[in-house]
Amino acid sequence: MGRFRIALAQMNLTVGDLAGNVAAMAGRLEEAWDAGADLVAFPELAIPGYPPEDLLLKPAFVDANLKALRELAAKTRGTAVVGFVDRQADLHNAAAVVHEGEVVGVYHKQRLPNYGVFDELRYFQPGQAATLYRIAGAWVGVSICEDIWFPGGPVAHLALAGADVVVNINASPYHRGKWRHRHQMLAARAADYGVSLAYVNHVGGQDEIVFDGDSCVFDAAGELLVEARPFEEELLLCDITLEQTFRARLHDARHGHVPERRTVERKNLSEQPSRRTRPPLPARPAWRHDDLAEVYRALVVGTRDYVRKNGFEHVVLGLSGGIDSSLVAVVAVDALGADAVTGASLPSRYTSEGSRADAAALARALGIELETLSIEESFQVALRTLEPAFRGRAPDIAEENLQARLRGMLLMALSNKFGWLVLATGNKSEMATGYATLYGDMAGGFAVLKDVPKTLVYELARWRNTQGRAPLIPESVLAKAPSAELRPGQRDVDSLPPYEQLDPILERYVEGDLSYQELVTAGFDPDIVKRVITMVDRSEYKRRQAPPGVKITPRAFGKDRRLPITSRYRDA
């Protein structure tokens, strides 16, 4: 029965760049053809980019996407599976099967996710039908993302109707460790249905989400055959042994079940295996996943794509000498290059000499420009201006936040003058508890660490320090107690529980939706739990005004977690 060569085009595409996406895909088509591929598969909604969101409410956008599909089809030699938006009576998240210059079939996604960052029921109607295509001697079925993530459904129908290979095109956003669940799921589906599964995913950043790729092929026994490098564009080639699938089908009494066969149409595109001379594929060792490395890579790719795809050439950030701004600066340089990053040291009367020295040392190590703009004079002017209104009241958080807002003002002035994008430096622990100043350190166009808890910030910084010839972030930054330095002797633990206690509670409350009682039962201190829950609930209005940032946890603030600002429900 021979081998079936499939090419998975793991690509970094851009929402709305129809011409650019088609041009990039056409290049991959030629590359796959030259490599002897029988079929090339592109990710979900590859032509319009994912997620197109309310662009789908513009009929002209949908029409332009259909025109782009026809243009790509005309460039196609051989056979391809292409994600696009179809318009019948309703809109559908669709996959076109293109063969020798023509669209010969269309599949409509049947399971539409409507949770987390997904909002597909807002735009699409589910499909009903499925088709098997005879391609180079193999029976190939097509499915889209969610169709495969749960047992049964269209993938089961295709497999039991006789599919040798099921192609699953995806737009599956990254979060830490997701590859484990993804591989377990794909291995289970392949083994359960006795079919080879080819999974292709986007790579790159789109607003706050980032795609890791992780395109891969599993054989009919549930064994991983090949896997693409995460966070990189790649044309992944794999030879699938059809004999293995055929043998699995012979030993499975479910195959050939008449009702299943009747629900699946068949189209014969190319009966015989390809006779083209095909270069042999080199052996690929299994990819060794490293969670910390992949989180860091997600931050780099998400930052680079947000900056570049939105037309910025340069970024600026406040470089305080603290751990958060230090990590953001390193990520920015890794993403954009030192010439595209400026640090701004914005000292006040409370800024320690150690912090100033740490900021300067980091700037030298990174090779970035460091502007020093003291806020002291502006702070004094502001205090004098406010003196009549503040008379008789002791200094408190108002004076502290005033310093943060002056820093935000100066950073935004640099942004306006030079066209730079401001990178905010707050982390998830601060965003969760409200320990961040609205219009101050929350000011900016992109928040690199928005979904990174403080304890993970330290882990990532230490990891990054091991990756070069010499550490970039000074050891003194890692060793000193975290402080906003807005009053004498200030430390974060004056206002927050220690991060080692805080972050596990936040993870369970924000990402896991555990209640006060469940957290206490799990062993957390009742008073700390109540305090943390109260801070989180009261800070929703701040988070609504925060800039977007890279999603790296299963539940990030923003689209993932949508709570009302005005609410009298209290869990504690």
What pLDDT, in 10s, does the model give residues 66-94? 999 999 999 998 999 999 999 999 999 99
For 529, the 3-state DSSP assignment is helix
**Same domain (yes/no): 234, 344:** no
**Same domain (yes/no): 350, 407:** yes
Could you tell me if residue 42 is inside a domain?
Answer: yes
Residues 178-227 pLDDT 10s = 999 999 999 999 999 999 999 999 999 999 999 999 999 999 999 999 99
pLDDT in the model for residue 252: 66
pTM recorded for the entire structure: 0.95
Write the CATH number for 12: 3.60.110.10
The burial of 113, by beta-carbon neighbours within 10 Å (0-12 exposed, 13-18 middle, 19 or more buried), is given as middle
Question: Over the chain, what is the mean pLDDT?
Answer: 94
**Same domain (yes/no): 219, 326:** no
Q: Which positions are catalytic?
A: 44, 109, 145
CB atoms under 10 Å from CB of 395, counted, come to 11
Q: How many angstroms separate the CA atoms of 292 and 459, rounded?
A: 8
Number of domains within the chain: 2
* 52-62 burial code (b ≥16 CB/10 A, e <16): beebbeeeebb
DSSP alpha helix (H) spans, 217-312: 242-250, 258-262, 291-309
Rounded to an integer, the average pLDDT of 6-11 is 98
**Same domain (yes/no): 254, 295:** no
**Same domain (yes/no): 209, 295:** no
Question: 133 pairs with which residues across the strands?
Answer: 140, 267
Could you tell me if residue 511 is inside a domain?
Answer: no
For 169, the 3-state DSSP assignment is strand
Could you tell me if residue 277 is inside a domain?
Answer: no
**Same domain (yes/no): 231, 305:** no
pLDDT in the model for residue 274: 74
Residues 364-394 pLDDT 10s = 999 999 999 999 999 999 999 999 999 999 9
Residues 95-129 pLDDT 10s = 999 999 999 999 999 999 998 889 999 999 999 99
Q: Which residue has the higher pLDDT, 248 or 529?
A: 529
Cis peptide before 498 (omega within 30 of 0): no
Question: 79 pairs with which residues across the strands?
Answer: 99
DSSP state string for 289-343: --HHHHHHHHHHHHHHHHHHHTT---EEEE--SSHHHHHHHHHHHHHH-GGGEEE
- Give the H/E segment covering residue 153: helix 153-160
Could you tell me if residue 548 is inside a domain?
Answer: no
Rounded to an integer, the average pLDDT of 461-478 is 95
pLDDT in the model for residue 116: 86
257 pLDDT more than 60: no
Q: pLDDT class for 276, splitting at 50, 70, 90?
A: confident
Of 479, 494, 509, the domain-final residue: 494
For 519, residues 6+ apart whose C-beta sits below 8 A from its C-beta are: 505, 508, 509, 529
Q: How many angstroms separate the CA atoms of 8 and 124, rounded?
A: 25
Question: 264 pairs with which residues across the strands?
Answer: 130
Rounded to an integer, the average pLDDT of 333-351 is 97
pLDDT in the model for residue 254: 60
Could you tell me if residue 533 is inside a domain?
Answer: no
Range of the domain at 310: 291-494
Write the CATH number for 318: 3.40.50.620
Residues 493-514 pLDDT 10s = 999 999 999 999 999 999 999 9
Rounded to an integer, the average pLDDT of 430-436 is 95
**Same domain (yes/no): 263, 360:** no
Could you tell me if residue 543 is inside a domain?
Answer: no
**Same domain (yes/no): 253, 299:** no
**Same domain (yes/no): 356, 464:** yes
Could you tell me if residue 144 is inside a domain?
Answer: yes
Please, are residues 114 and 142 in contact by the beta-carbon 8 Å criterion? no
**Same domain (yes/no): 207, 323:** no
* Cα-based distances in Å from 476 to 161, 365, 454, 461, 464: 63, 14, 17, 12, 15
The burial of 570, by beta-carbon neighbours within 10 Å (0-12 exposed, 13-18 middle, 19 or more buried), is given as exposed
Q: How many angstroms separate the CA atoms of 314 and 416, rounded?
A: 12
Specify the residue for token string 């990254």: 174
Could you tell me if residue 475 is inside a domain?
Answer: yes
Of 253, 268, 283, the domain-final residue: 268
Of 475, 494, 513, the domain-final residue: 494
Rounded to an integer, the average pLDDT of 327-341 is 98
**Same domain (yes/no): 61, 168:** yes
Q: Please give the share of the chain, as a percent, with pLDDT higher than 90.
A: 85
**Same domain (yes/no): 13, 51:** yes
